[in-house]
Structure 1
Amino acid sequence: MTNADPQELAKFSELAHKWWDPESEFRPLHQINPLRLDWIDQFAAIRGKQVVDVGCGGGILAESMARRGATVLGVDLADKPLKVAQLHAMEGGVANLDYRSVSAEDLAAEQAGGFDVVTCMEMLEHVPDPSSIVRACTAMAKPGGWVFFSTLNRNPKSYLFAIVGAEYILKLLPKGTHEFSRFIRPAELARWAREAGLDLQQFKGLEYNPLTRRYWLSGDTSVNYMIACRKPLVS
């Protein structure tokens, strides 16, 4: 069985036409993208690298990595966002970028050790078995390659900020975007990464000020956070 939730795929497909509107429901993704792109590039030096973006959606991160000089494959199982991503890249003349509808597990079986960099951002909390995605991303990475994840912590503060605040009060995201029970504690993600064979390099928090409407990276991983991992040169 495919490790995907049909309701989640449908949810993002319905909003696909808004993906590249920076004032739409995807505004937070547009705002945080420069931060996460620079953070990834700081570790992986992506120019000239083979990169796969797992759960790429409409391609905001994938296209920005291609524009920075990486050769990028974006993969997702939601067809409408993929078509939006393909059209946007074509209209923008981004040549070193391709998209495919394929699961992380199937791509890992097909192209094990095929990528210098693997990114999987804002996806793990939307799938039935996130640990399987972590294993697949690890398998896709070359020895010595980099693997990056981002997700949401599971605690009372994250419920208040990411669901009550972001979806109901500030309306930064559509209601129902996230399901609290699927949020992932950093210790859980770290365990899955280690069990998959990755070396943890850094946790980084992502914070938001609703008054200034500004995002920034910090050491606070209590709500949104990212993790940088490296696949050992020898297993």
Structure 2
Amino acid sequence: MFKHLLSTNRSRTIYNRYLSTKSTVDPAQTRIFETLSKKWKREGEGFKLLWAMNDLRVSWVQNRLIEIGTISRSTTANKSNSLQGISILDVGCGVGIFAKPLSRLGADVTGLDCNSEMLKVADVHKQNEGIANLKYILSTIEEHSVAYEEKYDVVIASETIEHVLEKELFVKNCIKCLKPGGSFFLTTNSKSQSSKFLFITLREDIIRDLPKGTHVYELFVDIEDVKDMLKKENCEISFTSGIIYNPLNKKWYWIKNHHILHYAVHAVKRQNLNNLDHL
């Protein structure tokens, strides 16, 4: 309904102010994760599925950046600095489960989260290891994107979008933080009955290792919807895959089917970005 308003700079400013009044933050989810932060006092504790996922997703980021030419294959031969010179924003970083291993590979990593309790734990972990190229910021993505537009080579939203409101606004501002030619990486639950059973029925209702309400099925998002959001932000979908967890060996694997449990998306922001073309 705003298409006719965007013909002038002033109208575009009004529209951007309209967007800025909306929030991606779900207060109910924030309260739950404040409670969960207590489980992450030491590395490896709490949410072991996420720690195990690092074996898959860290190498995924490296390999995709090689494939599109952001880093050279020879660089990864030295694993201690394979991401040297790459700036990364980890949106919804929590206690830094994904941010820390990326910083260990030499990347300049900014962990962003709106949950102060999570970031307190993350900062303790960081201080204990003396990691200089990792910092944490307490903020929302819509606030952060105002000051850090087109600042990052890589933006990551791993296990985050299923916990936020206003998903289109979330994706829009993630891409806003990304440099033209930069990479956006996303992983999340599939919007499927099998995913609902595992994360809600089994873990929250039966096993009860997660508080009730940690996952809300209505907040899960289908991969086709994510792809559509990214295309609207002038991104090219570079990679998609399903992901599944094997409880016997406690490892994650790539699979062709996107609709069983989890999926991953890698998109590249086009160089000739004009985000307003689709409005």
Choose which of 98, 106, 114 in structure 2 pairs with 1:69: 106
- Structure 1 residue 166: deviation in Å? 3.8
How has the CA–CA distance of structure 1 residues 26 and 205 changed in structure 2, closer, same or farther, with 3 Å as cutoff? same
How has the CA–CA distance of structure 1 residues 162 and 15 changed in structure 2, closer, same or farther, with 3 Å as cutoff? closer
Matched-pair contact (CA < 8 Å) for 1:117–1:141 = yes
The match for 1:199 is 236
User: 2 CA distance for matches of 1:216 and 1:42?
Assistant: 15
1:8-49 Cα offsets, whole Å, 9 max, x none, are 111111121322546643111111112111101111243320
User: 1 CA distance for matches of 2:178 and 2:145?
Assistant: 9
User: TM-score normalized by structure 1?
Assistant: 0.93
Q: CA RMSD in A?
A: 1.7
Q: Which moved more, 1:169-178 or 1:100-109?
A: 169-178
Matched-pair contact (CA < 8 Å) for 2:245–2:253 = yes
- Structure 1 residue 105: deviation in Å? 1.1
1:87-119 Cα offsets, whole Å, 9 max, x none, are 101111111001111111111111111000000
The match for 1:233 is 271
Matched-pair contact (CA < 8 Å) for 1:138–1:197 = no
Matched-pair contact (CA < 8 Å) for 1:207–1:220 = no
Choose which of 129, 134, 149 in structure 1 pairs with 2:186: 149
The equivalences for 1:108-123 within 5 A come to 108-123=145-160
Larger Rg: 2
User: 1 CA distance for matches of 2:262 and 2:203?
Assistant: 12
The match for 2:29 is 8
How has the CA–CA distance of structure 1 residues 59 and 23 changed in structure 2, closer, same or farther, with 3 Å as cutoff? closer
Q: Which moved more, 1:84-93 or 1:206-215?
A: 206-215
Give the residue type in structure 2 aligned to 1:131.
E
User: 2 CA distance for matches of 1:207 and 1:169?
Assistant: 21
Can you give the 5+ residue segments of structure 1 that lack an aligned partner in the other structure? Answer: none
Q: Which moved more, 1:39-48 or 1:91-100?
A: 39-48
Count of matched residue pairs: 235
User: TM-score normalized by structure 2?
Assistant: 0.79
Q: Which moved more, 1:122-131 or 1:172-181?
A: 172-181
1:39-73 Cα offsets, whole Å, 9 max, x none, are 01111243320111011110111111100110011
Choose which of 245, 256, 262 in structure 2 pairs with 1:224: 262
Give the residue type in structure 2 aligned to 1:232.
R
Instruction: Quote the sequence identity (%).
Output: 30
The match for 1:211 is 248
How has the CA–CA distance of structure 1 residues 144 and 120 changed in structure 2, closer, same or farther, with 3 Å as cutoff? same
Choose which of 36, 43, 57 in structure 2 pairs with 1:36: 57
1:151-196 Cα offsets, whole Å, 9 max, x none, are 1121222222332234344556444321111111111111111111
- Partner SS, residue 94 of structure 1: coil
Q: Which moved more, 1:8-17 or 1:211-220?
A: 211-220
